[in-house]
Amino acid sequence: MKLFKLIVLLGLFGLASCAKDSYRKINKQHKKQVKEVLGAIQATPITKAQVNPDSLSISDAWIGTTNFSIRRPNYVIIHHTAQDSLAQTIKTFTLPRTQVSSHYVIGRDGEVVQMLNDYLRSWHAGRGRWGNDTDLNSASIGIELDNNGFEPFSDKQIESLLLVLKRLKSSYSIPTANFIGHSDIAPGRKVDPNPYFPWKKLAQSGFGLWYDESLELPNGQSIEEVPENFNPIDALRIIGYDISDEKAAIQSFKIHFIQEDIDSSLSRRDSLILFNLYKKYR
């Protein structure tokens, strides 16, 4: 029995040190890259002596100021990993060839792994647009939820997410409307987080907006009507959606706010919800 225990212990120790070794290399490389980023921040602005005088009218000497601080994230973008385990996602994010990462990964059991300092630019958003912002990686924090893409999110995972969001919102004064999903910023290209994601619960906690559910009466009538001249595509654009592909924009809106069906058409009820939401965003 004792021998068995010893073998198990040795085995566990071996696994732990092996995991440590495999991350040591990537952590070392990470620190090296952080130093390069620091170098970019520490560089003194150029003066006339350093540039071609014909190309830029610039002062002879550098004049500094002490009135500054570091730039802050202003959006949070939520994803599902479309993978089967936290370990699989972490492996993906530690392989240089994948060129993808996120600041936080949250497991099904609620474990939070922070891989990047909030001030660094993670590669999670890819090509995307929200309003006029086309570089969401520079402006946002990326959070990946371990989920295969077709399953509900566990209570523990959402509880952890809410704690992370609370910290981020207060640290960086992120506006309530700026908690959005990957599908919101990349219509037709991304569908995460999947329609099981509890956006309504998040909005009730102050992260993201939701429509007034009281606008629908039990008899199928509603307390407000969509005006005849209401243009749903303009409304989607004002909310932030990239409307270059109108059908894809409608589908992204439905993944987030309708969730029961996510096709690319707007029913009377969908239009009512869109109209109600658009008034909150405009």
Choose, from 36, 144, 213, 228, the residue flagged as catalytic.
144
228 is catalytic: no
For Zn ion, give the closer residue by CB, 182 or 254: 182
Q: How far is the CB of 162 from Zn ion (least distance, A)?
A: 19
Q: Is 146 in the site for Zn ion (CB under 5 A)?
A: no
- Report residue 237 as tokens: 């654009």
Residues in region 20-49 near Zn ion by CB under 5 A: none
Q: How far is the CB of 182 from Zn ion (least distance, A)?
A: 3
Q: How far is the CB of 217 from Zn ion (least distance, A)?
A: 37
Q: How far is the CB of 180 from Zn ion (least distance, A)?
A: 11
Residue 213: alpha-carbon gap to chain centroid: 26
Q: Is 242 in the site for Zn ion (CB under 5 A)?
A: no
For residue 106, the cross-strand partners are 112, 145
d(CA 51, CA 55): 8
d(CA 129, CA 186): 7
Q: Is 256 in the site for Zn ion (CB under 5 A)?
A: no
Q: Is 79 in the site for Zn ion (CB under 5 A)?
A: yes
For Zn ion, give the closer residue by CB, 89 or 160: 89
Beta carbons within 10 angstroms of residue 48's beta carbon: 14
Q: Count Cα atoms within 13 angstroms, Cβ side, for 53.
A: 4
How many residues interact with Zn ion (rule CB under 5 A)? Answer: 3
Q: How far is the CB of 184 from Zn ion (least distance, A)?
A: 11
For Zn ion, give the closer residue by CB, 48 or 189: 189
d(CA 204, CA 30): 37
For Zn ion, give the closer residue by CB, 59 or 98: 98
For residue 133, the cross-strand partners are 130
Please state, in angstroms and as integers, the Cα–Cα distance from residue 120 to each residue in 40, 81, 139, 258, following that order. 12, 20, 10, 33
Kindly give, in sequence order, each residue whose CB lies less than 8 Å from that of residue 62, ignoring residues fewer than 6 positions away.
44, 45, 46, 47
x-marked contacts with Zn ion along 168-197 as a string, rule CB under 5 A: --------------x---------x-----
Pairing of strands 104-106, 140-145: parallel
For Zn ion, give the closer residue by CB, 82 or 203: 82
**End-to-end Cα spacing for the chain:** 69
Q: How far is the CB of 221 from Zn ion (least distance, A)?
A: 38
x-marked contacts with Zn ion along 194-233 as a string, rule CB under 5 A: ----------------------------------------
Return the sign of the alpha-carbon dihedral for residues 15, 26, 99, 151: positive
x-marked contacts with Zn ion along 88-127 as a string, rule CB under 5 A: ----------------------------------------
Q: Are 264 and 250 in contact (CB under 8 A)?
A: yes
**For binding to Zn ion (CB under 5 A), which residues are involved?**
79, 182, 192
Residues catalogued as catalytic: 144
